[in-house]
Structure 1
Amino acid sequence: MFDLDRWREIFQTLGKNKLRTILSGFTIAFAILLFTLLFGIGNGLKHFFEEAFAGDAVNSVYIFSGTTTKPYKGLQSGRNIQFRNDDTKFINEKFEEEIAFFSPNIQRFNVLTVYRGNQNNYTVRGVYPDYLPLESAVIEKGRFLSVMDLKKRAKVVAIGRLVEQDLFGNRSAMGKDISIGGISYKVIGVFSDPGGDRDERFIYTPFTTAQGMYRENDELDYFGLTYNPKLNVDQALQFTSVLTRIFKEKHSVDPRDQGAIRVRNYAEGSKNVQQFILVLNIIILFIGIGTLIAGVIGISNIMVYIVKERTKELGIRKALGATPGSIVSMIMQESIFVTAIAGYVGLMIGVLVLRGIGDSLEKYFIVDPSVETYVVIGATIVLIIAGTIAGYIPAKRAARIKPIVALNDE
């Protein structure tokens, strides 16, 4: 039950011993403040790497062609490898079980796009409907490309959110006709992309439409696909290795040639990031534990000193009829109160510091440094428990001392 007299007594004791109270609170607040800052900066580093891989699905694989650097099977080096439509069929037949989404791509850069008096240059990509999940893009208005658009070679486009903003301002682009490279296309959808501004300035049109407009034959630029999410990282890397080997065989490329066919698997980057974040978490955890241990030692030393200093006071209380249990509970209550208040102050200061310096840390690859409240509350509880134990042991010893001995203590 709430004992008003007990709390009055505690506040009087704290008021009479301001320096002691301030030193105790400072030790606790500083430990929580340092703990908050460390975890906040660690989370900021994690946020940076998460954003760096936000532009594409983590299970994305992209296949690019290049120029051979080694002679092979009687063929000279320096050959340009050109992907064609039959490669699309080849990949889907060979890896039907491993592939979730797939799209060949045709890409043109800096294509002049005009709507009435507004114009700008954008990258235009000819893709399959499956391409949307590869980019982790989200349709905000209308729809994305469809299979029917491919069959009809429809002159339709899905544009990025910033393309709409550039050309249409505050108006909607839906259903409007825009000129792309001098050819009229109808806007059927607007998308957003977690990859940021660059990815929201793309324009997507049906692959068949782009191939008919920008290629004289069945050539294409590159492939994008996502592997089956049931594959773990090691299986995904093995899939990529087999895909690269078989594709090189099809195009008569030396297996050691690294330039002719390049496969970029986001699983490898994701695995490296996960390993880095794991190591980072372990380092921060050890530093955080070290900080808490330092705080625990500081609290313990202060509590031992406080109880020692109050030996005569405790002797007087016992002489006046106070029981050992009431003396111990009073010291415990005082310890818990100071630790909780000081911990909360340290938490608030840490949060405010992180908010104040958050933007300035982006140049150091720290984005949105923050800390989960439950983590800091947990650390504060640890300090409260430590303070309670640290106070209990000397308080229990002092409560056993006979009043006459306590009153004669120097």
Structure 2
Amino acid sequence: MFDLDLWREIFQSINKNRTRSLLSGFTVAFAILLFAILFGISNGLKNTFKEAFGTDANNSIVIYPGRTTKAYKGNQVGRRIRFKNEDRDFILDKFGNKVQYFTSKVNRSVSVSFKGEKNDYEVRGVYPEYMFIENNKVKDGRYINQNDIDTRSKVVVIGRVVENELFYRVNPIGKYINIGGILYKVVGVFTDDEGDNEENVIYMPISTTQFIYGNNDFIDMMHLTYNPEMNADQALAFGNSIKKSLKDKFEVARNDQRAIRLFNMAQGAKQVDVMTFSLTIIILVIGFGTLIAGIVGISNIMIFIVKERTKEIGIRKALGASPRSIVSIILIESIIITAIAGYVGLLIGVGVLEIVGPSLETYFIKDPSVSNSLVVGATITLIIAGAIAGYLPAKKASRIKPIVALRND
């Protein structure tokens, strides 16, 4: 196979029969081109579905208190449900083995100033675990820690937007900002992939927030992430168990939907999984249909090529060529053409996705791309199909007697 004369002969044959080679290559290149574009669009749609849920932890549950809409156990309609620190402990005591991270949260809108700069921001009192639930990334300094919670420290972590607006060209770490007339030390700056809206906030220890704004243990909502090993159905059942337990604790009717509300990312994740699975099946059917069309095309061309070269095969046999060498020449030529054409099709497909990708966002297709390994696998499939399609007629032709092959029309 590594005989120099053999390879020279193969390339001479390809060069001599350019039209035939181009037709063979075009079939493969077009199939791989369509295959790459289809799967690229499929991945772009999947990216759109995932982005719709932001960059927060996709295994999170948010629990909100509300007001009752039904009388129950002597309690009147319209009773306000208020969560306290003990409710966080209640959930952790009962479901702690299924919880990954947990934080309570208190929200306040406040006026914040630093020297001559002043603006209004949302302050969120949280536990350190909130960093992993919200997927914050510390840009400078540090995040809130447990010691801050225990000592009610007057420290804050500010978002990138807050840093840019209050601390223009000044390192905020260690500086003090005025929040509602009280000075707080900036210990960190964070970023969030969701952008300005999530970076336009300030985090402080929840114990500090509760003490400063009311001197109580009330909380506005609770965030948690469940064990990531749970599947969607298990996560939904877990969320329903939490909701049921809280309703029992607060004496809320089971069919009261507003007293305690729960948002479970598993519901959205399950819907996205169903949509992406269905999309993948559709694209696979279309993609493999395109691939099969390419296989049929290259197979027909190979059969035609072998038949066209019957006289050539007869001459080779008359000159002493072995059946094995005749088959090898045809197969290697087929593999070379298919491999080169497949690579060209891949380059064109990726190039098309790169060029038109930004404009496809209008049609909810974000960052369309395709795995090189997938397209390489498709190309190898075409190569194998072309080799098999060429081998059978080549093997048959190599057994024909020279005189019969020379008489072939």
> With structure 2 as the length reference, what TM-score do the two structures score?
0.93
Residue 345 of structure 2 aligns to a residue whose secondary structure is helix
User: Using the alignment, how far apart are the partners of 1:30 and 1:139 within structure 2?
Assistant: 47
Residue 381 of structure 1 aligns to a residue whose secondary structure is helix
Query: Does residue 262 of structure 1 match 2:254?
Result: no
User: Using the alignment, how far apart are the partners of 1:377 and 1:108 within structure 2?
Assistant: 54
Q: Residue 256 and residue 152 in structure 1: after superposition, are their counterparts in 2 closer, same or farther (change >3 A)?
A: same
User: Using the alignment, how far apart are the partners of 2:323 and 2:98 within structure 1?
Assistant: 72
Structure 2 counterpart of 1:384, one-letter code:
I
User: Using the alignment, how far apart are the partners of 1:363 and 1:121 within structure 2?
Assistant: 34
Q: Residue 294 and residue 170 in structure 1: after superposition, are their counterparts in 2 closer, same or farther (change >3 A)?
A: farther
Structure 2 counterpart of 1:205, one-letter code:
M
Matches within 5 A, 1:368-407: 368-407=367-406
Structure 2 counterpart of 1:218, one-letter code:
D
Q: List per-residue Cα deviations over 1:139-159 (Å, max 9, x = no partner).
A: 232221122222332221111
What fraction of aligned residue pairs are identical, expressed as a percent? 57
Q: List per-residue Cα deviations over 1:250-292 (Å, max 9, x = no partner).
A: 2222211111211112223223323333333333222222221
Q: Residue 212 and residue 24 in structure 1: after superposition, are their counterparts in 2 closer, same or farther (change >3 A)?
A: same
User: Using the alignment, how far apart are the partners of 2:44 and 2:335 within structure 1?
Assistant: 32
Query: Does residue 9 of structure 1 match 2:9?
Result: yes
Q: Give, in angstroms, the shift of residue 230 of structure 1.
A: 5.0
Structure 2 counterpart of 1:37, one-letter code:
I
User: Using the alignment, how far apart are the partners of 2:165 and 2:286 within structure 1?
Assistant: 48
5+ residue gaps, structure 2, are none
Q: List per-residue Cα deviations over 1:349-383 (Å, max 9, x = no partner).
A: 11111111222222333222111211111111111
User: Using the alignment, how far apart are the partners of 2:380 and 2:283 within structure 1?
Assistant: 19
User: Using the alignment, how far apart are the partners of 1:140 and 1:232 within structure 2?
Assistant: 33
- What is the aligned residue count? 409
Q: Give, in angstroms, the shift of residue 62 of structure 1.
A: 1.0
Structure 2 counterpart of 1:36, one-letter code:
A
User: Using the alignment, how far apart are the partners of 1:380 and 1:229 within structure 2?
Assistant: 37
Q: Give, in angstroms, the shift of residue 225 of structure 1.
A: 1.7
Structure 2 counterpart of 1:13, one-letter code:
S
Counterpart in the other structure of 2:355: 356
User: Using the alignment, how far apart are the partners of 2:227 and 2:296 within structure 1?
Assistant: 52
Q: Residue 377 and residue 171 in structure 1: after superposition, are their counterparts in 2 closer, same or farther (change >3 A)?
A: farther
User: Using the alignment, how far apart are the partners of 1:169 and 1:84 within structure 2?
Assistant: 38
Residue 185 of structure 1 aligns to a residue whose secondary structure is strand
Matches within 5 A, 1:52-67: 52-67=52-67
Residue 150 of structure 2 aligns to a residue whose secondary structure is helix
Q: Give, in angstroms, the shift of residue 332 of structure 1.
A: 0.6
Counterpart in the other structure of 1:296: 295
Residue 122 of structure 1 aligns to a residue whose secondary structure is strand
User: Using the alignment, how far apart are the partners of 1:136 and 1:118 within structure 2?
Assistant: 28
> With structure 1 as the length reference, what TM-score do the two structures score?
0.92
Matches within 5 A, 1:153-302: 153-215=152-214, 217-302=216-301
Q: Residue 12 and residue 89 in structure 1: after superposition, are their counterparts in 2 closer, same or farther (change >3 A)?
A: closer
Residue 377 of structure 2 aligns to a residue whose secondary structure is helix
Q: Give, in angstroms, the shift of residue 133 of structure 1.
A: 1.5
Q: Residue 228 and residue 342 in structure 1: after superposition, are their counterparts in 2 closer, same or farther (change >3 A)?
A: closer
Q: Give, in angstroms, the shift of residue 243 of structure 1.
A: 1.1
Residue 97 of structure 2 aligns to a residue whose secondary structure is coil
Q: List per-residue Cα deviations over 1:13-67 (Å, max 9, x = no partner).
A: 2222222111111100011111111111222222233333453222221110122
Residue 375 of structure 1 aligns to a residue whose secondary structure is helix
Q: List per-residue Cα deviations over 1:185-212 (Å, max 9, x = no partner).
A: 2111122223333222221111122122
User: Using the alignment, how far apart are the partners of 1:342 and 1:170 within structure 2?
Assistant: 55
Q: Residue 398 and residue 117 in structure 1: after superposition, are their counterparts in 2 closer, same or farther (change >3 A)?
A: farther
User: Using the alignment, how far apart are the partners of 2:313 and 2:373 within structure 1?
Assistant: 37
